[in-house]
Every structure is written in C-alpha cells, then in structure tokens.
A and B are shown apart, each in its own frame.
Chain A
C-alpha cells in the first residue's frame, strides 16, 4: 500500500513539471503498478499450472506410483514414452478419440452453421428462440451425461422409444450404450446436442460481421443468391467457422466428464477416449509415472495440432 501511495504522489506531481520528465516518472510508477496488477495472476498460474506441469514432466521419467509413496523412485528415462507410443491399446484409444472429435466437429459445424444462417434471416422472435437453443451448452456436461443414460435406457428410455416409434423396431432391440457399434455414436449424439449452439453462436458472429454493402453490390451485379452464398457468405464467415472448429476440436480432444458418465469408456473400451484411458491409468491402476508420460504426450499433441491449425487459420484470415 505504501508503494502505491508513493507512486501516486509522484504521478500527481509529475503532471506539473516538464513533459519529458513527467513521462519518465509516470512511466516508472506505471511499471510498478503494472507488476502489482499482473503478478498475482502469474503467481497463481505458476503455482497451480506450471509447477504441476513441470512436476508431471519429472514424474513421467520415473517409476513413481502415488499409492506407494514409500517405494524409492527410480529414474527410467524415456521408457514410458517408448512403451506408450508402441502400445496398441493407446493407439486404439487415440482412434476412438479421433472418431469422436471428427464426427462431433463435422456434425456441430454443419448444424451450427445452418442454424446461424437461418437465424441471421432475423425472423420474428429469433432472439427468444436463440436463447432456447443455447440452453444445452450452459449445463454441466457430467449432469447431462448422467441424464442421457436415462434417455438411452433400452426398456424405458425416451430416446429408444422415439427411435422405435419412427423406425418400427422394438425399443428394447437396441442398446445405445451397451452395443459396440452404437455406443461411439451415442456419445457423438449427446455432444452434438450440447455443443451445436456454441458453433452456431460463433458462426452467427461471423455472419453478422459481413457488411450489407457487399450483398448490395452483388445484387447490383445480378449475382444469384446461390452464387452470393458461395462467393460472399461462406468465404467471409470461414475464419469464424474455423475458429469454432478449433475450439470444439481442443475441447473434445480433452473430453472426459460427459463420456465418463455416459459409458465410462465401455462397453469394453469402445468409447474409451484418451482422457478416460488417462484417468484409468492415473487414478485406478495408480501408474503415476506412466500416466504422466501419457499426459505430456496428449498435451504436446493438442498443442502441436492447435498451432498448425492456427497457422492455417491466419492464412485464411489474411486472404
């Protein structure tokens, strides 16, 4: 507090003296203030994000197990990394993750952009309906996952009943969560239900950012609506669509809560996305060193893919 009042006195006096000196002194006090303002955040992030990250990196080279803290820790080098990258189970988990990420992103982008395009027609009451559409994305993914298990019940669930009603099959003839071929789609459906509105919002921001005069010019040139969509709407909204794809891609690569409650990775390991494999290794079989190595591999993968993608995005933006 002392420092603050001292710096403020300087600032106050600085206004009176010569401009050059004033700038220098005020710059000094600003610098103190800047550090006072920024340091708490950085300290918190260092303590709760960076220090643990460094610790994870260290653990990933050891045989440490959190449930056997007394066993002496042995340095293993890159052994875990080698065994993870050559483990067929890990590759299976990565394939499950890829299936989940790709299909959710495709479905959410198509539906989300479609909805945004329709909402941008500004029909009467579009504000209210937009709010209603938004609701699923505001809810807790864990709680959502849990109540969808109820909707997916083969005997009593609403989802099975509705599908049975429209297809004429018996409602108990298929199990969305218990069937090896259906369960990967069960998690895609719930994620699409939840997150399509998010993509829609970002696309809507993109569509709203296109100035009217471009369409007016196109009308003057007698471009058809079809042509306008492909030559104006889509290219100009593309950076926003790509941004939405990036956010959803990162989020779903990390997906844990919803899938954990819907299927817990099952049946077998057909819906075992990377985060669930990680949780099983870290908190069920307590292979802390191994799971740390896997966590680092996942982090590097997300980070690397996101960086490549952002480069592509910037290219599209600067076009």
Chain B
C-alpha cells in the first residue's frame, strides 16, 4: 500500500475530492465495524444486559460470559450452596449468585488448543511442500507442467461437503477420523494448492542469475536453493503462511463433519455453547471474541504482507 505520488501531476485528485472520498470510506468502515464491536461488547455483558431491549450500549462490565465459557456449572439448592465453603475464585462466586456451583472446566480450552495445533501443523506442512513444488515448477522443465498446475488449482473447486463424503469413508477405514493428524493432512491438501500458486509467483520474481552465480561459485543446486532462493523468498513464504493459517484457523465444514470430540476445533464448538434455556450469548460472544482477536491482531500487524498476498494471488491466477 505504498503511494507513489508524482508531485503536482494533473491526475492528482483535488483536496475536496480526497476529503469527500475519505469521509465515505470512513463511514463505510464504521458501519462495517459495528457488528464486530457489538459482539465484543456483548462478551462483557451480564446475560440480562445482553438480551435487554432496547440494546444497551452502556452497561456494567461483567466477566460472567468468560466464566461461563471456561466452566460448566450445575444448579444446586441454596441450602447446599450455603453448606459449601467460601467460593473459590471469581467464577465460583458469580455462579453462586445464580444458585449454581462450578462443576469443572468446559471444553473450550481443549478445542482452542486443537485449533492451534491443527492450524499451525497444516500451515507448516503446506508451506514446506508448497515452497518445494513452487521452486520445482518455477525453475525446472517439468513434463505436463501446465496441466499439473491446473490440476493443483482445480482441486479447490470441489465443494467442501463433496470432498467430505469420501474423506469421511476413507478416514473411517484407515482410522484417521476424529484425529488431529487427519485434520492436519486434510487442511494441508487444501492449502497446498494455494501455496504452490502464490509461491510460484514469488519465486518467479527472483532472478535465476542469483542461483546460477552461486552454482558457479561451487554451490550445488540444492545448496543454492537453501542459501540463495529461500532467503529471497521469505516475504512470499510469510504471506503464504498467513493465508494458510487463516484458512485452517477459520475452517468449519470439514471440522463439523469429520470431528466430534478429540480433534474438534473451535469453530464448530462455539455455536453449540448453550446455557439454561437457549444460547448463552455472553459466553458465545466471549468465545467468539477470544477466537477472533488473534486474527484481528494478525491482520493489523501484518497488513502489508496480507495485501500483497491477496492482490498478488489475484493478478497471477
């Protein structure tokens, strides 16, 4: 997003145009942020505030949503609760004020950990495989190169549910259903096609002369790849990794159909957080917020790479 502006060019928009354009964009940005801000506010509301009408913008912050997200509770009689000792920690005292006691931790943390392991595992694999293949396609004469590249891309056109049917049967047969390894392999196979295409674009841009010079200096082709090409491609590899990570982090269709307990990630888990009498909105909002915050921070910190990756992929394909 660098703006290479030429001084006093006739094509420079006037100050009024800029201000007008700016205010429209800012207006859109604010409107588009409202749902996101709202869900983050809801995470800090008490259940009563969350479902009040008219919707409350000002409210007394509460951590009940987070407590309900991380614990399971059971309803008890006031006599039983009085017979217990003093409440242990904040969540216990909130629960007791609602005639409940904390029964144990919820499944949110294990699901979140699954998300982390599967997302990072598949990203590392996809980027590693993608880098090797992209280099292969970029530098060597591979028979049927265009067909192979198209084949790699076309694997993305299958609707996920269509892929899930045979994968479900296959994993059931070979014992990979509801395992982290199974999900890592599946996400890797989805991501690797994107990785090959993005990285091939990046590696195509690195002049061949660099490697050739290194090889004349006595490097082997493989050494030249590791010591010359990889450092040059770091930006591209980083951008690709971000995309793979975001996909794997956000994926839902495969996760909901192919996992049930062991390997379930956060996206299929968050919607089924329920309290007494329907969805526990502050807890859902808290789970959503914790799940989205890493991506939001990531996007803001790495925006330059992201922008390059998206537009780059578009221009190439």
Residues of A within 8 A of B (CB): 4, 7-9, 11-12, 15, 26, 29-31, 33-38, 40-42, 44-45, 47-53, 55-56, 59, 66, 111, 115, 118-119, 121-127, 129-136, 138-143, 146-148, 150-151, 153, 155-158, 161, 171, 193, 198, 201-202, 204-205, 209, 212, 215-216, 219, 240, 243-244, 247, 250, 253-254, 256-257, 260-261, 274-275, 278-279, 282-283, 288, 291-292, 295-296, 298-299, 302-303, 306
- Residue on B nearest A30 in the bound complex, by CB: B140
Question: CB of B188 within 8 A of chain A?
Answer: yes
A30 to chain B, nearest CB (A): 5
Please tell me if B75 contacts chain A, counting CB pairs below 8 Å. no
Contact present for A257 and B252 (CB under 8 Å): yes
Q: Mark B40-83, 1 if CB is under 8 A from A, else 0.
A: 00100000001111110000000000000000000000000000
* Smallest Cβ-Cβ distance to B295: which chain A residue: A138
Contact (Cβ within 8 A) B35 A45: no
B11 interface hit (Cβ, 8 Å): yes
Given contacts A12-B220, A34-B141, A45-B155, 16 further A-B contacts (CB under 8 A): A33-B221, A33-B222, A48-B186, A50-B155, A115-B28, A121-B21, A136-B32, A140-B251, A156-B50, A156-B52, A205-B314, A256-B160, A260-B253, A274-B159, A299-B157, A303-B154
CB-contact partner of B158 in A11, A121, A153, A299, under 8 A: A299
B13 proximal to A (CB < 8 A)? yes
Contact with A along B274-317 (1 / 0, CB 8 A): 00000101001100100110011011100100110011001101
Within 8 Å CB of B135, what residues of A? 37
User: What chain B residues lie within 8 Å of A143 (beta carbons)?
Assistant: 250, 267, 270-271, 288, 291-292
10 residue pairs bridging A and B, Cβ less than 8 Å apart = A34-B136, A49-B189, A52-B166, A121-B13, A129-B29, A135-B296, A140-B250, A205-B315, A256-B160, A261-B271
- Whether B33 pairs with A135 at a CB distance below 8 angstroms is yes
Q: Is the CB of B292 within 8 A of A8?
A: no
Q: How far is the CA of A209 from the CA of B13 in the complex (A)?
A: 17
B237-266 contact mask (Cβ, 8 Å, vs A): 1 or 0? 000000000100111110011000000000
- Is B100 interfacial (CB 8 A cutoff)? no
Selected interface stretch from B2-10, B91-99, B105-113 = B2-10
Asked if A12 and B218 sit within 8 Å, CB to CB, the answer is yes
CA distance A19 to B61 in the complex (A): 76
Distance from B2 Cβ to chain A, minimum over Cβ atoms (Å)? 9
Cross-interface CB contact of A156 among B35, B51, B159, B161, cutoff 8 Å: B51
Bound-complex Cα distance A55 to B279 (A): 39
- Whether A138 lies near B246 (C-beta < 8 A) is yes
Measured CB to CB, the residues of B under 8 A from A are 1, 3, 5-6, 9-11, 13, 17-19, 21-22, 24-26, 28-29, 32-36, 38-39, 42, 50-55, 129-130, 132-133, 135-137, 139-142, 148, 151-152, 154-155, 157-170, 172, 185-186, 188-189, 192-193, 196, 215-216, 218, 220-223, 246, 249-253, 256-257, 267-268, 270-271, 279, 281, 284-285, 288, 291-292, 295-296, 298-300, 303, 306-307, 310-311, 314-315, 317
Cross-chain contact B303 with A134 (CB below 8 angstroms): yes
A157 CB, nearest partner CB in chain B, Å: 8
Bound-complex Cα distance A15 to B218 (A): 8
**Chain B residue with the shortest CB-CB distance to A256:** B253
| Cα(A132)–Cα(B186), bound, Å | 31
B34 touches A158 (CB 8 A): yes
Interchain CA distance A139-B315 in the complex, whole Å: 23
Q: Are A37 and B24 in contact (CB under 8 A)?
A: no
Contact A37 B136 (CB under 8 A): yes
How long is the Cα–Cα vector from A45 to B162 in the complex, in angstroms?
Answer: 15
Residue of B whose beta carbon sits closest to that of A145: B271
Residues of chain B within 8 A of A44, CB atoms compared: 129, 185, 188-189, 192
How many Å lie between the Cα of A282 and that of B169 in the bound state?
A: 11
> Provided the pairs A129-B26, A147-B284, A215-B11 are in contact, do residues A122 and B3 lie with their beta carbons within 8 angstroms?
yes
- Tell me the complex Cα distance, A118–B158, Å: 35
Q: Are B164 and A122 in contact (CB under 8 A)?
A: no
- Within the complex, which residue of A37, A123, A278, A302 is in contact with B25, where a contact is CB–CB below 8 Å? A123
Contact B55 A292, beta carbon cutoff 8 Å? no
Give the 9 A-B residue pairs with the shortest CB-CB distance, closest first.
A8-B220, A123-B22, A295-B162, A52-B166, A142-B252, A140-B250, A37-B136, A34-B140, A205-B311
Q: Are A140 and B314 in contact (CB under 8 A)?
A: no
User: Which residue of the partner chain B has the closest CB to A4?
Assistant: B222
Measured CB to CB, the nearest residue on chain B to A58 is B166
Question: Taking CB as reference atom, which chain A residue is nearest B287?
Answer: A143
Cβ of A279 and Cβ of B140 under 8 Å apart?
Answer: no
Q: Shortest beta-carbon distance, A73 to chain B, in Å?
A: 12
Q: Which of B13, B166, B215, B221 makes the CB contact (< 8 A) with A53?
A: B166
Taken together as a complex, chains A and B put the C-alpha atoms of A28 and B63 apart, in Å, by: 65
Residues of B within 8 A of A34 (CB): 136, 139-142
Q: Do the beta carbons of A41 and B155 come within 8 Å of each other? A: no
Q: In the docked arrangement, what's the CA distance between A288 and B307, Å?
A: 41
B35 touches A56 (CB 8 A): no
Return chain B residues, CB-CB under 8 Å to A139.
36, 250, 292, 295
Q: How many Å lie between the Cα of A125 and that of B151 in the bound state?
A: 42
Determine if B158 and A53 form an interchain contact, defined as CB atoms under 8 angstroms apart.
yes
**How distant is B110 from chain A, measured CB to nearest CB, in Å?**
18
For the complex, give the distance between the alpha carbons of A140 and B287 in Å: 13
Q: Considering the chains assembled together, what is the distance between the CA atoms of A133 and B307 in angstroms?
A: 12
- Say how far B123's CB is from chain A's closest CB, in angstroms: 14
CB < 8 Å: which of B19, B34, B53 contacts A155? Answer: B53
